[in-house]
Structure 1
Amino acid sequence: MLFWSNFSKKKVLLTLGTGISIFLLINAYIYITRGNYRLKRLMAFFFPERYGDDAGWYYLFLDKMWASLRWIGPSDSDALFYVNYTDTVFLQLSYQFGYVMAGILAVLFGALIIKMFSNVNKIKNPYAKLLIIGATALYSVQVIYNIGMCVGLLPSTSLSLPFISYGIVPTIINALLIGLILSIIRRKNFQ
């Protein structure tokens, strides 16, 4: 949102640099005071074989799951017993219905994100543009990270897939984001 605002380049870079510096300082403090289990989890993502008995088993399990997938239909019904059901719902649906379902879900989510971003140029009000960009960014980060996490491209966190994962609070927040975007698009011709 900073890059689409009316701030000068100097203010944007200063704000971005300050935010990144504060983020790094807080993370350094957490790593120093709370132990190194987060570092172990991150290293298990990069080297799962080395941490196979500890934090890397999940990434080895993901590789095994994606390797046994079929194009259509279930592979092995009892293999999903060890997976967190709400954070890995994309993996579950892909595992139960095959690569075709994974492709359909990715295309549907991608089309929705592209449609939301394509409406930014149609809006005249700069505040409404920033609202659409922010809401779309919040929604798309959840989708991209969850799919990347389930595929094994990103480290595992508890970020749910919008409107599919279990949980009332993320569903309400995503419904509010979509409702905000639809409300702005409906009034796009107003100043």
Structure 2
Amino acid sequence: MSILMLFGLATLRSATYGENEQLFTRQIVWDIAGFSLMFLVLFIKDRTIRNFSIILYVFSVVLLAALLVKGTPIGGSKRWFRVMGFSFQPSDFAKLSLIVLLPYLLEKRWFWRSFFLTVVPAVLIFLEPDLGTTLSVGLIWLFAVLASNVNKKPLVILLILVLVFLPVFFFFGLKDYQRARILSFLNPEEYGESYSYNVLQSIHAIGAGGLFGAGYMKGKANLMGYVPVSYTDFIVSVIGEEFGFIGIVFLLSLFGLLFFEVSRWILNVKDEYWEILMVSACGLIWFHVFENVSMNLGLLPVTGVPLPFISYGGTSTLVFSILVGLILKGIALARVEKKL
């Protein structure tokens, strides 16, 4: 995680050079805070985490409900609370609460309770609106259920119903701009001056980087601001332009090493709670990496999903750091079990 943070800070320094340089300084603070939280989690007792999961969930739902009333509108969405110059995104906190709560429910075989308690924050997040985070919340539940020992027949029925009603949801459940984003993915040239603009600029920047890149802080598309919000959603375009294909491979290798190590230890976890938690936490990180890199390359629709430890973001950095701390705690417990 420390290598990812350092690589992220180096990239962010280039992405914010000349404008928004204060974001780089803030991210240093967020990274230090996140690293500290990761170690703090290791000292929290297993029983405390399980018992506190319900309180954490209720608090996150209250925050999401309050956000729809008191949230700061940015770009037509209410996704953040603005406090003393800093933005706080409750949906990230909700994902953390679900990752801690769902294993507690599923180890008791409470399938439908886990489903309905996931639907509540998912609906509140969808109303912000935030389709990408809504999708990630659903995937957290899916990863958790697949990792558990509950009866999978209800899951199959639910997935079939989702596929059946997906066209209806597309036409009547999504807002116009959300449908436009999906359509622009299918036909980017037609939306080249609007919804596909960021993606096309990102693809051009990555393509210009070639194999080895233009060099650190030498990417023209980045420095001249051709790719909007390159320090958040489109941070991969900066990596691709300045470090080339080699830089993207290096980045994916770091995440790949993390996933490999976690999956290796998951096989040794005997406690079902921690097995489910580690799978869902690792699954969420994987989804963010897969979706963010893919949308930068034009392989998936844009959903506003940040790249963990690389994109700028305070709340997301803290939450992902806590998740890594929980994963490390699960690994530590697995090591103890292995010795016994």
Q: Scaled by the length of structure 1, what TM-score is found? A: 0.85
Unaligned ranges ≥5, structure 2: 1-143
| Aligned residue number for residue 180 of structure 2 | 40
Mapped partners of 1:119, 1:22: distance in 2: 38
After superposition, the Cα gap between the structure-2 partners of 1:23 and 1:137, relative to the gap in structure 1 and judged at 3 Å, is farther
Q: How many residue pairs get matched?
A: 188
- Residue 290 of structure 2 is aligned to residue 144 of structure 1: yes
Q: What letter is aligned with 1:12?
A: L
Q: 2:151 aligns with which of 8, 14, 29?
A: 8
Which of the two has greater helix per residue?
2
Alpha-carbon shift at residue 27 of structure 1 (Å): 5.5
Alpha-carbon shift at residue 16 of structure 1 (Å): 4.2
| Aligned residue number for residue 28 of structure 2 | none
Identity of aligned residues (%): 29
| Aligned residue number for residue 242 of structure 2 | 96
Mapped partners of 1:58, 1:167: distance in 2: 19
| Aligned residue number for residue 255 of structure 2 | 109
Alpha-carbon shift at residue 79 of structure 1 (Å): 1.3
Higher relative contact order (CA 8 A, sep 6+): 2
Alpha-carbon shift at residue 149 of structure 1 (Å): 1.4
Which moves more between the two structures, 181-190 or 166-175?
181-190
Which moves more between the two structures, 97-106 or 77-86?
77-86
Unaligned ranges ≥5, structure 1: none
| Aligned residue number for residue 78 of structure 1 | 220
* 1:16-61, Cα deviation, whole Å (9 max, x unpaired): 4566678877665433xx4x22222211111111222222223332
Q: Scaled by the length of structure 2, what TM-score is found? A: 0.50
Mapped partners of 2:212, 2:331: distance in 1: 38
After superposition, the Cα gap between the structure-2 partners of 1:77 and 1:15, relative to the gap in structure 1 and judged at 3 Å, is closer
Alpha-carbon shift at residue 72 of structure 1 (Å): 2.2
Alignment RMSD, CA only? Answer: 2.5
| Aligned residue number for residue 130 of structure 1 | 276
3-state SS, counterpart of residue 145 of structure 2: coil
After superposition, the Cα gap between the structure-2 partners of 1:43 and 1:89, relative to the gap in structure 1 and judged at 3 Å, is same
